[in-house]
Structure 1
């Protein structure tokens, strides 16, 4: 999350974000032991179990606590991480990790539970019989790890590929990307300048705003960094880096608030927005009405994807101030995880 003269995310979070990112280095170091390297005497005699939170054999419980259909689905996602999950460095940097043994797959499941249900670390601590600070450190480590790992996935799809894919299903591709902004409420910051930068007049609360882009098939292909809630949609579009991904003849579908055609005209990119009634004598022509209806029917999918991402309750409630430095990464992870769910467009 950067800080500029404009209303981007707050100054006081910048250093914290950098610290968290640095301390989640995935490389191996001599000053930090992994869970597997911890001596046996450093583990509690009674090992904690994810079974104290949910029954992994019960598909209904898995769906309720994680949002995924069953435990096999979660294990399938877990396989993409490879063996590196066995050598993660846990936040913050410590010489040893005095924690009970929780295998990496259970740690991943624990993170999904936190994202989906937004349970307090205190509650999870009681259930797992693990110190809540340890659970918090595991969560921070995994959010950083998932952020970098999921960022490696090449989810941006060029228009040519989308055209071929849509043609295979007998459909016409309406666009390259469908964009919209969404806001996540946060606790009111103590710094007055930060309060001003994050205050959203639309939500009447302090928020962080991100721009989300999806393909015509409903796959999340772009999630921006988090900016202060006072940032306008146009300003966010200009600064988020989406323009760099666009190519000549690309088409963007957006809401009326995105008056950004002048920002992409030099790349020969078209921005389709719903028609305005201004200068139409209060009535659309038939061609305008059809075009507007078609664009709206396609654009609504991005709102459905945003709604799907916000089934992770950590995004639908007010984000704890202690997690605000990680907000951009938490939001990114939640949206990327929706790509592993059933497609919203059938």
Structure 2
């Protein structure tokens, strides 16, 4: 009917829904047909069948290679594991080689050290002219060996090593401590080097391949050994002996000269005690010193060495306390510098003092006194030269440390006696 609207009644609802569902089914069917048409077109035009076959073939071939690849991977893993084991072994070998290299380097250093030490031995020094005197003070090797063999060797074989001032001085045939690296002869040589060159103990320890304490004990032992042997064999010479070797230059003007004396001072380390500092201070040296009286025969042999005294002592007191006065005999003559004002000490003994005349104040020295002064100076100079020889043992030129004060008298006496092996100063 025109202008009429359809009415919706309960009995018409189902019909309408059914119509709608039919439409949806029709649309879906059309879409499926379109999909099939597109799929057919896709496979028939863009991916031909032969291409798809090739792809499947490639997949099949890859599948076939998988076992081979897995086997290859396994072989590579095994090879890698073997290489890791080999690397570990090489590292272990490398560590062992490093240890061997370090050991060889240590042995090489030790060998070099021993070789250097072997170079500084008496056996090598004796082959070169002049070195024996330079290192030991002996004029030649033969003289050194005569002194060692005839004077020192027997006692050296039974001596104890020095352990300090409180140890016994006797040699009872009992050796103590570990054996030294050096033979007895080399120990003697080292001691002479210590005295002659004044080398520090640490230097000698490096040269001879031992500890510094061993050097100290060995050198002090040998110094004491030489001191005791010199004391036993060297006596104050009698007048007959002195006269037998009297040089002509003395026979003319001073034929009764028994001894020529002079004092010398040696610088020491400053004592810790204030009283000792004052007692050892020398106005002459302006240092702390010890003083020694030295006497020689007219033939320039050192015949008397006093103990050490404090540097402040006067020459007169030094002579009084030295023990020299007890050794002189009536008729002897003593030659000295004009500073030795000891005539009143010698006169009661019947001994004459020959010193240069003293210059009277505000007056000129008479010609005869000038001549006497000149003669005495020409003769007295030999004691200064002898003392100069003693100080060629350079240990006495250095500041004497407190560590050797206990043996300072022995050191000085031994150095003085060793100079007597040199050729005479006066012919």
Answering whether residue 343 of structure 2 is matched by residue 276 of structure 1, we say no
Q: Who is 1:289 aligned against?
A: 370
Unaligned runs of 5+ in 1: 1-45
- Cα distance in 2 between the residues matched to 1:225 and 1:333: 12
SS in 1 for 2:426: coil
Query: What TM-score results when the alignment is normalised by the length of structure 2?
Result: 0.66
More helix by share: 2
Aligned 8 A contact 1:249 1:270 in 2: yes
Does residue 334 of the first structure (1) align with residue 415 of the second (2)?
yes
Partner of 2:297: 215
Q: CA RMSD in A?
A: 2.4
State how 1:1-346 maps to structure 2 within 5 Å: 51-54=118-121, 55-56=124-125, 57-79=127-149, 80-92=151-163, 96-166=176-246, 171-172=251-252, 173=255, 175-278=257-360, 281-285=363-367, 287-346=368-427
Q: Distance in 2 between matches of 1:332 and 1:128?
A: 26
Distance in 1, Cα, partners of 2:224 & 2:244: 35
> What is the Cα deviation at residue 60 of structure 1?
2.6
Structure 1 residue aligned with 2:37: none
SS at match of 1:255: coil
Larger Rg: 2
Q: 1:257 to 1:167 in 2, by over 3 A?
A: closer
Aligned to 1:36: none
In structure 2, the gaps of 5 or more residues are 1-112, 168-173
Does the 8 Å CA contact 2:256/2:331 hold for their aligned counterparts?
no
1:143-189 per-residue CA deviation (whole Å, 9 max, x = no partner) reads: 11111111112342223332233278994435110000000101111
Whose RCO is larger (CA < 8 A, sep 6+)? 1
**Aligned mates of 1:121, 1:279 — CA distance in 2:** 52
The range that moved more, 122-131 or 107-116, is 122-131
State the distance in 1 between where 2:229 and 2:352 align.
32
Q: Cα 1:142–1:48, aligned 2, differ >3 Å: closer, same or farther?
A: farther
Contact 1:48 1:102 in 2 (8 A): no
Conserved 8 A contact 1:99-1:134:
no
The CA distance in 2 between the partners of 1:290 and 1:235, in whole Å, is 29
Residues 170 and 215 (structure 1 numbering): CA distance in 2 closer, same or farther, change over 3 Å? closer
How far 1:251 moved relative to its partner? 0.3
Alpha-carbon distance change, 189 to 341 in structure 1, aligned in 2, over 3 angstroms: same
Structure 1 residues 160, 291: closer, same or farther in 2, change over 3 A? farther
Distance 1:104 1:228 in 2: 35
| Aligned partners of 1:178 and 1:252 also within 8 Å | yes
Give how far 1:51 is off: 3.8
The whole-number CA distance in structure 2 between the counterparts of 1:234 and 1:164 is 30
